[in-house]
Amino acid sequence: MDRILLGHGSGGSLMHDLIRQFLAPAFDLKDTGDSAILNLNPHRIAFTTDSYVVSPLFFPGGNIGELAVYGTINDLSVSGALPLFLTAGLIIEEGFPMDDLKRIISSMAEAARKAGVKIVAGDTKVVNRGKGDGIFINTAGVGLLYEGIDISARNISKGDLVIISGEIGNHGMAIMAERNGMSFDPPLKSDTAPLNDLVRSMFEATREIHFMRDPTRGGLATTLKEAAIESGLCIRIREEAIPVPPQVMGACELLGLDPLYIANEGILVAIVGRKDAEKVLMRMREHPLGRRSSIIGEVDDSPEGMVLLETSIGGKRMIEMLQGEQLPRIC
Amino acid sequence: MDRILLGHGSGGSLMHDLIRQFLAPAFDLKDTGDSAILNLNPHRIAFTTDSYVVSPLFFPGGNIGELAVYGTINDLSVSGALPLFLTAGLIIEEGFPMDDLKRIISSMAEAARKAGVKIVAGDTKVVNRGKGDGIFINTAGVGLLYEGIDISARNISKGDLVIISGEIGNHGMAIMAERNGMSFDPPLKSDTAPLNDLVRSMFEATREIHFMRDPTRGGLATTLKEAAIESGLCIRIREEAIPVPPQVMGACELLGLDPLYIANEGILVAIVGRKDAEKVLMRMREHPLGRRSSIIGEVDDSPEGMVLLETSIGGKRMIEMLQGEQLPRIC
């Protein structure tokens, strides 16, 4: 392949190949988790970055500004860190309406305030008309690792349970519906939300959270497949247990998409030691962002690196990473 | 003004207005320095971000990749920090040649290695053909503040001397010459370089460095005007003392530009306590990136907030910030 395809940005296998074969070796990146973990004696800090290129910029339930703030907060949170500081880098297209810029920046400020995180530095660049797409936003974030926490696929072991904190598919399908001029009743709305407080409450319940990730690009399927490959174990999930709202299901059927691959922005998936799973689940359900939490599966030792879905009618399906470009520019 | 203009990104007064009137209050940014300074007891860390949208991507003396790495290293350095970690966020246009991407990423890796800084996390997004411009790169960086160092325009006082570490105008004019298909003898080349080691050697000589900045967008003029406004003092500089290479002067004359406003990527300007200035200057001249260091002026107490240039023919000129969009997309 000698040119970049849209699918290289969609969070699936093309992107993984690009990162694993090229970016990670060039930069000597050790881990493919959501944040780098760094020692700054006596602290361990998490440091991460994400650029946001979502289209459209404003969508039901949010806009690119709050998405950019919550997205990086969530990357830090699921790495086991308390998010502290964000930077914001704006790349704006010449001619972009000042009012839209103000709305977006206000949303970022409000989102940071809500989550109790500070935006501490910013940068603004402008590109010529026709050389951008309204606005792109990068956020980078620094967080402080919780004591005694080690979130890594390496810590997953047989018997662990898989918990999801809410319904899947809302963010991605809200964007797709907006792009396609479709409407649903009840309406599809992005689930974009900051997960730092939910994560804090989970750590209060137990330190036995082995793996945690927010299943954004590539959806729940890709996230679990990554966990299976990195741990060398097998993740078995039950279709019936996975909460999919009816309007997401409806939109997916109309567009020929699979909710397991749809991006989410306000939920997390955790793989938790079996004996503490019920306790964590209870705590999650007490949290406004975790009311629909449920156990959707468990970890087995074989077949290695596989995710197996037990379907509602009792069949088994092998789950792979997202291929190609199902949903470009979803975040 | 109800739409974003190219000049909003050029580092001059339009951008300052945008940041001061809108971004800084929304995010409650305290300082307009190059990095945020944060307490992470017992450390003080610097945290900064910059996006790079330079056009063309490859130019004499460098490319967008090393520029993005050195730029953030330099922002941390002139804040008085030892740069430690960077993140890299890539926004790539669909259809971008894979070979160019590899060249750029290799340059980033090589630049980080040379500067002794680690790129610890990355992100890749792809936008549709015609919705970007090849590649945009964001880098964010974390550094550790040197002990006993406080770089701030508030610390400048009357009698301080102004030192520049090298010749001005090389980066900006190399880009402009490339865009305009002009060639010079000797050729114009970007001065992009990492300043962290030069800064380290300056701190070895003295802690009495009151202000430091790398004069990128907006050039030396805009940087000094910012220092004058923030300190409430007057900066007097002598035109004869400012090193401008003949090919930069020639290109500026051809294009009707003023070298004082041209972006630089491998030099810094420092305002230093008078009694230590000579010592710092000597140390800087021993460093490969500081051989052409010179004292170009001094600080006076009035007229407040002004930068006054004493011209070669003995006249005086008031220096203002860059207005409008002299050089869009220079970094």
The rounded distance, in Å, linking the Cα atoms of A230 and A227 is: 5
Q: How much is the average pLDDT of B216-238?
A: 96
Share of chain A above pLDDT 90, in %: 82
| Helix (H), strand (E) at residue B50 | strand B43-52
The rounded distance, in Å, linking the Cα atoms of A235 and A284 is: 21
Q: Which among A4, A8, A47 has the least Cβ separation from residue B85?
A: A47
The rounded distance, in Å, linking the Cα atoms of A47 and A35 is: 5
User: Looking at this predicted complex, what is its ipTM?
Assistant: 0.95
The rounded distance, in Å, linking the Cα atoms of B137 and B123 is: 10
pLDDT value for A302: 93
Sheet-wide strand order for A234-238: A209-213, A269-272, A161-164, A294-300, A234-238, A307-310, A316-319
**Quick one: pLDDT band at residue A326, thresholds 50, 70, 90?**
low
Q: How much is the average pLDDT of A234-250?
A: 96
| Distant-in-sequence, close-in-space partners of A148: CB < 8 Å, separation ≥ 6 | A207
| Pairs of CB atoms within 8 A across A/B | 250
pTM over 0.90: yes
Of A9-18, A19-28, A31-40, A69-78, least confident by mean pLDDT is: A31-40
Q: Quick one: tokens of A284?
A: 């999650």
B156 touches B268 (CB < 8 A): no
B265 touches B199 (CB < 8 A): no
Q: Does the pLDDT value for residue A33 go beyond 80?
A: no
Q: State whether A85 and B6 contact (CB < 8 Å).
A: no
- Helix, strand, coil content of chain A in percent (nearest 5): 35, 25, 40
Q: Does the pLDDT value for residue A6 go beyond 70?
A: yes
The rounded distance, in Å, linking the Cα atoms of A301 and A285 is: 29
pLDDT, chain A, mean: 94
Q: Quick one: tokens of B270?
A: 């420092």
Q: Quick one: tokens of A178?
A: 């907006």
Q: Which among A3, A36, A93 has the least Cβ separation from residue B120?
A: A36
Phi, psi at residue B140, to the nearest 5°? Answer: -120, 155
Q: Quick one: tokens of B91?
A: 């926004």
Q: Quick one: tokens of B144?
A: 């550790």
pLDDT value for A31: 63
Q: Quick one: tokens of B171?
A: 């980066």
**Quick one: pLDDT band at residue A21, thresholds 50, 70, 90?**
confident
Of A215, A232, A216, nearest to A224 by C-alpha is A215
Residues linked to residue B299 through DSSP beta bridges, in sequence order: B235
Q: Does the pLDDT value for residue B260 go beyond 90?
A: yes
Q: Does the pLDDT value for residue B23 go beyond 90?
A: no
- SS3 letters for B44-86? EEEEEEEEECCCCCEECCEEHHHHHHHHHHHHHHHCCEEEEEE
Q: Does the pLDDT value for residue B211 go beyond 70?
A: yes
Q: Which residue has the tokens 């008078």?
A: B274
Helices first, then strands: H and E counts in chain A:
9, 14
| Distant-in-sequence, close-in-space partners of B117: CB < 8 Å, separation ≥ 6 | B69, B73, B83, B84, B85, B86, B141, B194, B196
Q: Which among B18, B35, B89 has the least Cβ separation from residue A50?
A: B89
Q: How much is the average pLDDT of A33-55?
A: 92
pLDDT value for A44: 94
Of B224, B212, B232, B189, nearest to B280 by C-alpha is B212
- Shortest alpha-carbon distance between residue B61 and chain A (Å): 21
- Shortest alpha-carbon distance between residue B275 and chain A (Å): 33
Cβ-Cβ contacts under 8 Å, B102 against chain A: 22
Beta-carbon neighbour count of residue B313 at 10 Å? 7
